[in-house]
């Protein structure tokens, strides 16, 4: 049952109250200027705080009965303007900054809110194209040729036609069954119209809850100004739209259940970084104490998923990723991202998914999803046909766009769709997503670090294969990640015992929270330096307040490391060990280290931490036969492997020179390759790669033959 509403004053009193607000707020000059600029500009914006300060009763009435109070305000505004300009009736009042009592979580909207003025916070997930909507339809009665005007409901999808030719408009009075009405499109009045869907902010969700959304109708000058991924506050009147079905010979069937829609009055952008996270003065004083703590990053690492034992190196890189570097806009207009991207590739049972879910919870604005994608938009964005727009094309944001300004956590990245594969390159490096389909052309922001996990193709890691061979991802995409970790599950008695004690201990504490242990620590909890909630606030505070700059000493450390590693590639036929892309990653990690310490200056220690992480990544992922080879990541094969592939192909071509259709057994190839310096245990790997790349095929089991072009 809709709650009782306040008693409305007489129309003249409402007009007088509005005019008093305009006068006391000093808005007369703004109103006259707006009239001069009409119709290019048509809206007067008034903060609710101004209205409430001048006339509290009028403010309360506006929240309670907006459909009566807002039109009265427009009429009061119109009475301050010249009477010889009737078109100024198209001026609008836009109310912003609604009080906390008017704000609702989308999932908490109820029938008692119908007809009230609400503010809904969220992320724009879908937008339709801007299209004209009939505001006042003009019809002609076929019987008497009288033109009849029928005002349309802004929130209704159905077109309303006259039920009779009204005598009040000079008509003949005949009902619809005794005459027909012809729609006069050229004489009807239209307004720009757009529907958007606003989805709940991820930080407002309970763990595991699916985000809910609500459609918002934007008309006139509100239409066409938001894109998917924008964080907004939509202010407007909540309406119930009755569901209908059918429409054939049986006519429309009306449902007793109504859908909700917000009729937009104003839209406020919320693009400030993490402004939704409230930090008290006491918490800020606590955070500032960490500026003098040299072990603060170690404490942060210990606080990341404390029940997951091990993976200290991976957690350190992820800790830096939470804080991130500084995005920069260069004089030539090129933007360099400050966000780090981290990829974990691991054997089953290595707790990758648990770690990712924890990071998604602790990261401000963190969003978790699977590479399979939960919607048609997938990970990036898509133009899709949707009932939301009456079957028209809609631009829908994917997960990376929704995570703009936050953090995207993607499990099973190797399972993403082919469409996402092509779009991910741009999303990771330029941090934008471009769409051009069905007449919809847009570039959406995806400014977020990506923490992703993937599984080896064949279940477990093969130490004899490169990481690029074992992940179902293109090497060009792998190269966009700042660091990649291969997590291998190998039996090790000492490590296995430590891991077992940690897992079993956490089970004991969780099962018996009422029994104190010998240390006096409260069982059921882990002694992490930062709680998840405090760490989230600390990250938000650091990203909001700190923009570190590289010191000369830190620059020297990074430069020396880069030059020293590159020097390994100066030898003849030596592989390229590192590229400028890794140097930029070093800068990001150094800045993130300083930001984690709440320091405005990147020191030598920060740079050394970055070089240590980079050196570990290079030796774990891009090392071949004792030499660093970045091609293992950027192309998927090492230089020595490519040379052996070419050598094996040359051997086969030479053997086929007198017999073009000749086939070979694997043993024959091993025997022919060994004198050329190719070990027999490498031939299996080379043959597998050449088959996958289309150079070789098996015409029958056990027989290998070159593909002829």
Question: What is the torsional sign of CA 661, 667, 672, 673?
Answer: positive
pLDDT tens digits along 322-336: 999 999 988 888 889
The angle formed by the CA atoms of residues 546, 552 and 556, to the nearest 5 degrees, is: 115
What totals of helices (H) and strands (E) does the chain contain, helices first? 22, 28
Q: What is the pLDDT of residue 375?
A: 61
Q: How far apart are CA 549 and CA 599, in angstroms?
A: 9
Question: What is the torsional sign of CA 409, 129, 150, 144?
Answer: negative
The count of C-alpha atoms lying within 13 angstroms of the C-alpha of 613, restricted to the half-sphere facing its C-beta, is: 33
Q: How far apart are CA 522 and CA 514, in angstroms?
A: 8
- Would you report the helix, strand and coil content of the chain in percent, each value rounded to 5? 40, 25, 35
Is 491 a domain residue?
yes
- The verdict on 222 and 321 lying in the same domain is no
Q: Is the pLDDT of residue 32 over 70?
A: yes
Q: What is the DSSP letter of 707?
A: P
pTM, entire model:
0.79
Q: How far apart are CA 598 and CA 609, in angstroms?
A: 16
CA 321 to chain centre: 16
Predicted confidence band of residue 271 (pLDDT cuts 50, 70, 90): low
**Alpha helices, DSSP H only, in 148-254?**
none
Q: Is 431 exposed, middle or buried (0-12, 13-18, 19+ CB in 10 A)?
A: buried
- The verdict on 523 and 590 lying in the same domain is yes
CATH number of the CATH domain containing 700: 1.10.10.10
Q: At what angle do helices 580-596 and 552-567 cross, to 10 degrees?
A: 150
Is 421 a domain residue?
no
Q: Is the pLDDT of residue 522 over 70?
A: no
Q: What is the DSSP letter of 305?
A: S
Q: Output 504 or 557, whichever has higher pLDDT.
A: 557
Q: How far apart are CA 305 and CA 680, in angstroms?
A: 45
Predicted confidence band of residue 518 (pLDDT cuts 50, 70, 90): very low
The residue from 216, 249, 269 where one domain ends is 269
Is 501 a domain residue?
yes
- The verdict on 197 and 118 lying in the same domain is yes
Contact (Cβ atoms closer than 8 angstroms) between residue 419 and residue 384: no
Contact (Cβ atoms closer than 8 angstroms) between residue 477 and residue 345: no
CATH number of the CATH domain containing 127: 2.40.50.140
- Give the three-state DSSP class for 314: helix
The residue from 96, 111, 128 where one domain ends is 96
Q: Is the pLDDT of residue 548 over 90?
A: yes
Q: How far apart are CA 101 and CA 233, in angstroms?
A: 14
Tell me the C-alpha to C-alpha distance, in Å, between residue 417 and each of 271, 353, 377.
30, 20, 10
pLDDT average, residue stretch 403-407: 90
Is 417 a domain residue?
no
- The verdict on 628 and 650 lying in the same domain is no
Q: What is the pLDDT of residue 700?
A: 78
Give residues with Cβ within 8 angstroms of 700, minimum separation 6.
663
- The verdict on 150 and 255 lying in the same domain is yes
Tokens (6 digits) for 127: 């937008």
**Alpha helices, DSSP H only, in 350-417?**
352-362, 399-402
Q: What is the DSSP letter of 465?
A: S
pLDDT average, residue stretch 212-229: 92
- The verdict on 626 and 656 lying in the same domain is no
- The verdict on 581 and 560 lying in the same domain is yes
- Give the three-state DSSP class for 646: helix
- The verdict on 643 and 626 lying in the same domain is no
CATH number of the CATH domain containing 576: 3.40.50.300
Give residues with Cβ within 8 angstroms of 571, minimum separation 6.
none
Is 447 a domain residue?
no
Is 173 a domain residue?
yes
Q: What is the pLDDT of residue 373?
A: 61
- CA end-to-end span of the chain: 76
pLDDT tens digits along 354-393: 899 999 989 988 889 887 765 656 788 888 777 666 667 7
Is 438 a domain residue?
no
The residue from 96, 115, 139 where one domain ends is 96
Q: How far apart are CA 171 and CA 164, in angstroms?
A: 9
Query: Is residue 39 reached through a cis peptide bond, with omega within 30 degrees of 0 on the bond before it?
Result: yes
Predicted confidence band of residue 556 (pLDDT cuts 50, 70, 90): very high
Q: How far apart are CA 476 and CA 428, in angstroms?
A: 11
Predicted confidence band of residue 159 (pLDDT cuts 50, 70, 90): confident
Contact (Cβ atoms closer than 8 angstroms) between residue 424 and residue 431: no
Q: What is the pLDDT of residue 348?
A: 78
- The verdict on 75 and 21 lying in the same domain is yes
- The verdict on 602 and 643 lying in the same domain is no
Tokens (6 digits) for 128: 């339709």
Q: How far apart are CA 505 and CA 444, in angstroms?
A: 46
pLDDT tens digits along 466-507: 777 778 888 788 889 999 988 876 665 666 576 666 666 666
- The verdict on 17 and 160 lying in the same domain is no
pLDDT average, residue stretch 70-99: 85
Q: At what angle do helices 56-64 and 11-24 cross, to 10 degrees?
A: 120
Contact (Cβ atoms closer than 8 angstroms) between residue 585 and residue 614: yes
Q: What is the DSSP letter of 205?
A: S
Contact (Cβ atoms closer than 8 angstroms) between residue 648 and residue 693: no
Q: Where are the beta strands (DSSP E) in 290-417?
A: 328-329, 335-336, 342-346, 366-370, 381-385, 393-397, 407-411
Tell me the C-alpha to C-alpha distance, in Å, between residue 242 and each of 26, 109, 136, 292.
42, 17, 21, 61
Nearest one of 695, 688, 623 to 653, comparing CA atoms: 695
- The verdict on 83 and 131 lying in the same domain is no
The tally of domains found in the chain comes to: 4
Question: What is the torsional sign of CA 300, 303, 305, 307?
Answer: positive
Range of the domain at 122: 100-269
Of all residues in the chain, what percent carry a pLDDT higher than 90?
40
Question: Could you count the other beta carbons within 10 Å of the beta carbon of residue 32?
Answer: 12
Nearest one of 258, 256, 255, 266 to 217, comparing CA atoms: 266
Q: How far apart are CA 228 and CA 124, in angstroms?
A: 5
Tell me the C-alpha to C-alpha distance, in Å, between residue 622 and each of 465, 539, 586.
11, 31, 16
Q: How far apart are CA 98 and CA 238, in angstroms?
A: 14
């Amino acid at each position: 049952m809709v709650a009782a509403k306040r008693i409305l004053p007489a129309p003249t009193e409402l007009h007088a109250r509005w005019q008093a607000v305009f006068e006391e707020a000093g808005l007369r000059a703004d109103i006259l200027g707006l009239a001069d600029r009409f119709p290019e500009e048509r809206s007067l914006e008034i903060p609710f705080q101004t209205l409430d300060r001048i006339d509290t009763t009028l403010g309360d009435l506006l929240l309670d009965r907006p459909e009566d109070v807002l039109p009265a305000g427009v009429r009061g505004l119109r009475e301050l303007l010249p009477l010889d300009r009737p078109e100024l009736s198209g001026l609008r009042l836009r109310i912003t900054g609604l009080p906390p009592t008017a704000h609702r979580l989308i999932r908490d909207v109820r029938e008692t809110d119908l007809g009230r003025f609400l503010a809904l916070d969220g992320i724009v997930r879908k937008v339709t194209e801007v299209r004209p909507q009939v505001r006042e339809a003009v019809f002609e009665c076929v019987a008497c040729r009288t033109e009849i005007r029928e005002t349309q409901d802004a929130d209704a999808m159905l077109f309303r036609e006259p039920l009779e030719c009204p005598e009040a408009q000079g008509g003949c009075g005949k009902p619809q069954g005794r005459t027909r009405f012809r729609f006069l499109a050229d004489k009807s009045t239209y307004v720009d119209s757009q529907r958007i869907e606003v989805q709940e902010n991820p930080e407002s969700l309970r763990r595991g809850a699916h985000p809910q959304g609500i459609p918002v109708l934007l008309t006139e000058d509100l239409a066409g100004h938001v894109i998917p991924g924008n964080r907004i506050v939509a202010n407007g009147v909540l309406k119930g739209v009755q569901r209908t079905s059918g429409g054939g010979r049986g006519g429309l069937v009306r449902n007793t259940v109504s859908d909700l829609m917000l009729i937009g009055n104003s839209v406020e952008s919320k693009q400030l970084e993490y402004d939704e996270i409230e930090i008290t003065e006491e918490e800020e004083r606590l955070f500032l104490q960490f500026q003098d703590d040299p072990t603060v990053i170690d404490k942060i690492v210990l606080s990341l998923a404390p029940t997951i034992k091990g993976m200290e190196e991976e957690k350190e890189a992820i800790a830096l990723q939470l804080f991130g570097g500084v995005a920069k806009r260069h004089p030539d207009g090129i933007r360099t991202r400050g966000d780090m991207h981290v990829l974990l590739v691991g054997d089953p049972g290595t707790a990758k998914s648990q770690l990712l879910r924890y990071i998604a919870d602790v990261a401000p604005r963190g969003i978790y999803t699977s590479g399979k994608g939960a919607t048609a938009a997938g990970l990036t964005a898509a133009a899709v046909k949707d009932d939301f727009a009456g079957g028209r094309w809609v631009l829908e944001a994917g997960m990376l766009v929704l995570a703009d300004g936050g953090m995207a956590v993607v499990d099973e990245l190797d399972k993403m769709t082919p469409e996402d594969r092509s779009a991910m390159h741009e999303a990771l490096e330029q941090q934008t997503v471009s769409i051009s389909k069905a007449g919809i052309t847009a570039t959406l922001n995806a400014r977020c670090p990506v923490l992703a996990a993937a599984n080896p193709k064949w279940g477990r890691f093969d130490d004899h294969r490169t990481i690029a061979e074992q992940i179902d991802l293109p090497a060009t995409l792998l190269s966009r990640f700042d660091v990649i970790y291969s997590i291998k599950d190998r039996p090790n008695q000492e490590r296995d015992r430590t891991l077992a004690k940690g897992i079993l201990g956490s089970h004991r504490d969780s099962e018996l929270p009422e029994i104190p242990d010998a240390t006096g620590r409260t069982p059921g909890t882990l002694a992490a330096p930062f709680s998840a909630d405090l760490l989230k606030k600390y990250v938000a505070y650091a990203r909001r307040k700190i923009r570190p700059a590289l010191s000369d000493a830190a620059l020297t450390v990074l430069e020396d490391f880069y030059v020293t590693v590159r020097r390994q590639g100066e030898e003849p036929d030596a592989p390229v060990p590192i590229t400028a892309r890794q140097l930029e990653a070093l800068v990001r990690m150094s800045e993130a280290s300083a930001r984690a310490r709440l320091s405005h200056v990147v020191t030598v220690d920060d740079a050394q931490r970055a070089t240590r992480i980079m050196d570990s990544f290079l030796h774990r992922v891009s090392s071949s036969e004792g030499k660093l080879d970045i091609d293992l990541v950027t192309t998927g094969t090492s230089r020595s492997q490519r040379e052996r592939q070419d050598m094996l192909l040359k051997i086969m071509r030479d053997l086929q020179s007198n017999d073009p259709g000749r086939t070979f057994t694997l043993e024959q190839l091993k025997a022919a390759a060994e004198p050329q310096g190719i070990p027999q245990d490498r031939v299996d790997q080379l043959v597998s790669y050449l088959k996958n790349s289309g150079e070789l095929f098996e015409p029958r089991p056990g027989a290998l033959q070159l593909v002829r072009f």
